[in-house]
A and B are shown apart, each in its own frame.
Chain A
Amino acid sequence: MSSSDEGLRDTGLDSVRLHDWLSRTWDHKRGLVGWFSTVDHKVIGRRYIITALFFLALGGLAAAIMRLQLARPENTIVGPDLYNQLFSMHGTTMMFLFAVPVMEAFAIYLVPLMVGTRAIAFPRLNAFSYYVFLMGGLMMWIAFAFNTGAEAGWFSYVPLAGPEFSPGKRTDFWAQMITFTEVAALSVAVVVIVTVFKQRAPGMTLNRIPLFVWSELVTSFVVLFAMPAVMMASTMLILDRLVGTHFFNPAEGGDALLWQHLFWFFGHPEVYIIFLPATGMVSAILPAFTRCPVFGYTAIVLSLIATGFLAFGLWVHHMFVAGLPQLGSSFFTASSMVIAIPSGIQIFCWIATLWLGSPVYRTPLLFVLGFIVIFVLGGLTGVMAAAVPIDAQIHDSYFIVAHFHYVLVGGAVFPLVGAIYYWYPKATGRMMSERLGRWHFALAFITFNAAFFPMHILGLAGMPRRVYTYPAEAGWSAMNLVVSLASLAFAFSFVLLAWNMMRSLRHGTPAGPNPWTAGTLEWATPSPPPPYNFARIPVIDNVEPLWRGNGSPAGEVSGLRVDARELLVTTLTEAMPDLREPSPADSIWPLLAAVAVGATFFGSIFTPWAVIWGLGPVAVTLIGWFWPKGAPEDE
C-alpha cells in the first residue's frame, strides 16, 4: 500500500473539488471504446436490465402467439413445429434470459449503492458477465429467427432432446445458450457475494444489511451451487449429441432420468433464484411506503437463508410420476411442505409491517399488495402439488401451468414491476407517471387472474401442457378463449409499463435524491447517482440509516484517494474499516474476452475442436485483461 499513500486524499477537499476529482477518476471515457470499456456497475446494471426487459418482450411475444393459437380448438395459426419452438423459446427466455438476469441486474445496480461503496467488486468480471449474457441471448434468438430455435422445451428432456429425436442443431443452440447464461450468472454471483461481504459501509454489521441485499446474497450462493448442475447436464447433452457419448442412452448404460435429476437439481433452486430477490424487493418497498421498518428483520433473514438451503432438497417433486421409489417421494413431499414455512414467515412479517405502519398507496406498494394476494395462491397450489397423489393427477397439466405462473409472475414479476416504479427515479432522476402506474396495476392484476386462474380448471379437466392444439369435443374451448383474451390484455399492460418508462425519461417530474423518503443508503446520493456513487462513504448505525433525525447517515469516512479508484474494505461481520483497496479502471479486455469465450462456445455447437481452437484467443484476452500496467490496481 506504500505508493497509494502518496495519492491525493479526500480529507481536506471541499465538496466542489471533491466532486471534480472523483468524477475525473471514476467516470468512463466518452466515445465508442469508452462505452465498451466501462466497468461502472450502474452502467452495466442498466444495460443488463434493459436487455433482460427486451428479452421479456420477446418471450411475451412468443406467449402471445401461443395464446392466439390456443384461442380456438384445432386452430392452425401455427403448426406443431413452430408451436414447439415458441413454447420452448418462451420458457427458456423467461427463465434464462429474463428472470434470472434481471434479478441479478438489480443486484448489480443496487447492491453497491445500498451497502455504500464506490464500485462493485471485480467490476471487470461484472462487465464480462454482461457481454457473455448478451451474446448467449442474441445467439438464441437469432438462431430462432433462422428456424433453429429450441424445440424440446425449456427443460429439454432426453431422449426427446437427445441426438436421435432432435436432429439438426436446434437443441445444441439451446444447450450452449445455457452455458453462456450460466457463466454470466456465476460471474455475477461471485461479484455480488464479495461486494456484500467486504465492501459494506462502516457500521453496516450483518444485522444492518438491507433485506434486499441479504436476498441477493443468499440468491448468489444458491446460484453458485445450483448452476454447475445444469452446466454439467447441458454439457453432457451436447457431448451426447455431438461426440456420441452415452450419458443418457439406456441401451449403452446411460440413464434418461439422469438428465431430469441434474436439470431439476438446478431447476428447483432456479425458482428461488428468481423468487428470493423478489422478496428482497418487497422488503425494500414496504418500509418506504408504510413509514415503518420491516417487522421481523431477523426472522426474514433466517427465512431467506432457510429457503436457500431447502431449495436444494425439493427437486424430486418434479419427478413424482417418473417412476421413482415411493419412500424417496415421501421425503420430497415433506421437504416441499417445509419450504412453505419460511415463505409463510415472510408473508406474515410483511402483513405485520403493513399493520404497524401507515400505508401510502403509491404504485410500488400496489404491486406489492397484488404480489401478496397472487403469490399466496400460487404457493398454496404448490403445497397441493407437493402431495404425491394430487401431483399424480395435476402434474404436466394446465393446473401446473397456472401454479407456476402464479408463483413466478405473481411472486417475481409483480415485485419486479413494483421495484421498477420504486427505483426508476433513482436510476433516471425522474418519477414515473403515477396515474399510468395505477392503470397499469389495475389492468395487470385483473387480467393476470383472468388469464391464469381458469388454467387450474383446464388442468383438472384433463388438458395437458405443451399441446399445440386440442379437440373441440374436449370441452376446453370456452375457457381457453377467455384465457387467450385475458393474456393478450395482460401483455398489453406491459405496453403501458414500457410507455410509462420511455415517456417519463423525458417528461417525468424531477425526483431529487430521495423522492419516497426511504431509509436505505441508495437514497443518500443524488439521482441518478454520480459515477463514484458517494462523495464520502457513509457510516451507519441503523438498518434504515436515512431515518435518523436529520435524514442523513450517522457519519462519513474520510481518507480515501481521489486521484485513483479506491474503495474501503471492511470486515465481514462487524463491517469495521479494514483496508483501502484499489478498484480496477475501465478496460476493453472484458469485452474482448467475452467475444473470445462466446466464439468458443458458439463454435462448439458445431465441432468439439472449437474448445481447443478457442483456448488461444481466450488465453490472449485473459492475458491482456490481467497484464500488469503499473496502475494502482495491480498491486
Chain B
Amino acid sequence: MCSPCHKVAGLVLLLAIAGCEREEREFQSPPPQSGDAGAAVLSTLSPGSSAPQATPSPTGRKYNQNAYHISEGKRWFRWFNCNGCHANGGGGSGPALMDEKWIYGGSIEHIAATIRQGRPNGMPSFDGKIPEQQIWQLAAYVRSMSGNAPKPARPSRNDALNPGPAEQQRDPLPTVGGAAQGPR
C-alpha cells in the first residue's frame, strides 16, 4: 500500500516470527519421540570438576522460548510446592534457583532431568508424579528465574505479594555448571 508501511510491516514481521514460537499455547504435548528430548548426562565420578553435558534438544528449545509454557511452569512451581524448599528462587532448605550456580547443570535438559530423577540431599524424584510436559514447563520456568529465557517470554509479576522483581525484570545470568565453580 505504501512503502513506509511496508518497512514497519517488515520490522513487525521479523519480530513476529520470534513471536510465533513465543505465543503458541500448546495444551497437549505430542507423544515424546526417542532422542527428541535430548540427553542430560552427569559426569559420574566428580560432578564438580567437569560441567555436566547436555545435548540441546528441540523439546528443550521449544519450552525455553514459549511464554505459555514458562507461565504454566510458574504456576506448577507454586502448586507442586517447589517453593516449599526453594522459596521464590532464593533458596531455603533447597538451593537457590535464581543465581548462576547449577550443581547438576543449568540447561533445560539438566533441570528437567533433575526434577525427573531427584538428586541427593533432599530433592525427590518426581518421575511418574509430575507428567512429562509439566516437568518441561517447570524446567523452563526454573531457567527463566535466572533470566535464561527470551525476555518477552519470561513471566511478569503475579497477582500476589511479590518478594522481588519479576523474572522479566531480572538480568540474565550465565549458567555455570558444577558445584566447584564459583561465580565468575
Contacts and interface: CB of A to CB of B under 8 A. Distances in A.
Interface of A: 32, 35-36, 81, 134-135, 138-139, 142-143, 145-148, 159, 162-165, 167-170, 240-244, 246, 248-252, 591, 595, 598-599, 602, 606-607
B157 to A, nearest CB: 4
A167 B68 contact: yes
Interface in B17-37: 17, 19-20, 22-25, 27
B122 interface: no
A417 to B, nearest CB: 24
B67 to A, nearest CB: 3
B23 to A, nearest CB: 5
Contacts of B9: 138, 142
Most buried by A among B16, B70, B162: B16
B6 to A, nearest CB: 10
B120 interface: no
B20 A146 contact: yes
Nearest to B71: A167
Given A146-B17, A146-B23, A169-B19, 7 more contacts: A147-B20, A148-B23, A164-B157, A167-B153, A169-B152, A249-B162, A599-B11
A579 B60 CA distance: 71
* Smallest CB-CB A-B distances: 7 pairs: A168-B67, A163-B156, A146-B16, A167-B71, A167-B67, A244-B157, A147-B23
A595 B147 CA distance: 32
Nearest to B4: A595
B156 A242 contact: yes
A241 B19 contact: no
Contacts of A167: 67-68, 70-71, 153, 155
A607 B23 CA distance: 17
Nearest to A51: B1
A208 B23 CA distance: 55
Nearest to B68: A167
Interface stretch (B39-47, B110-118, B124-132, B164-172): B164-172
B4 A163 contact: no
Interface string B135-165: 0000000000000000111011111111001
Contacts of A135: 5, 8
Nearest to A172: B152
A525 B156 CA distance: 58
Given A134-B5, A146-B17, A598-B8, A164 B159 contact: yes
Contacts of B169: 243-244
Contact of A143 (B16, B67, B158): B16
Given A134-B5, A143-B16, A240-B157, A169 B23 contact: yes
Contact of A250 (B16, B159, B166): B159
Contact of B12 (A32, A142, A168, A595): A142
A148 B159 contact: no
A163 B22 contact: no
B121 interface: no
Contacts of B3: 32
Contacts of B155: 163-164, 167
A602 B70 CA distance: 24
B138 to A, nearest CB: 15
B23 A252 contact: no
A147 B17 CA distance: 10
B68 A168 contact: yes
Contacts of A143: 12, 16, 19
A244 B20 contact: no
B166 to A, nearest CB: 5
Nearest to B157: A244
Contacts of A163: 155-159, 166
Nearest to A134: B5
Nearest to A158: B159
Contacts of B162: 244, 246, 249, 251-252
B156 to A, nearest CB: 3
Contacts of A599: 8, 11
Nearest to A607: B151
A145 B166 contact: no
Contacts of B161: 251-252
A148 B16 contact: yes
Nearest to A54: B1
Contacts of B70: 167
Contacts of A242: 156, 168
A591 B24 contact: no
A32 B68 CA distance: 43
Contacts of B12: 138-139, 142-143, 602
B130 to A, nearest CB: 20
A35 B4 CA distance: 12
A246 B157 CA distance: 9
B18 to A, nearest CB: 9
A634 B158 CA distance: 52
Contacts of A598: 8
A169 B67 contact: yes
A168 B156 contact: no
A132 to B, nearest CB: 11
12 contacts: A35-B2, A36-B2, A135-B8, A143-B19, A163-B157, A163-B158, A163-B166, A168-B22, A169-B23, A243-B169, A251-B162, A599-B8
A606 B16 CA distance: 12
Contacts of A607: 151
B162 to A, nearest CB: 7
Contact of A162 (B13, B152, B153, B159): B159
Nearest to A147: B23
Given A168-B22, A168-B23, A598-B8, A145 B158 contact: no
A321 B67 CA distance: 33
A632 B5 CA distance: 31
Contacts of A142: 9, 12-13, 16
A591 B4 contact: yes
B152 A36 contact: no
A89 B67 CA distance: 20
A595 B8 contact: yes
A143 to B, nearest CB: 7
A251 B169 CA distance: 20
A599 B13 CA distance: 14
B5 A169 contact: no
A115 B128 CA distance: 76
B135 to A, nearest CB: 19
A147 B24 contact: yes
Contacts of A591: 4
A139 B16 CA distance: 10
A240 B16 CA distance: 23
Nearest to B156: A163
B34 to A, nearest CB: 29
A244 B68 contact: no
Contacts of B5: 134-135, 138
A158 B12 CA distance: 27
Contacts of A168: 22-23, 67-68, 71, 152-153
Nearest to A592: B4
Contacts of B7: 595
Nearest to B16: A146
A250 B158 CA distance: 11
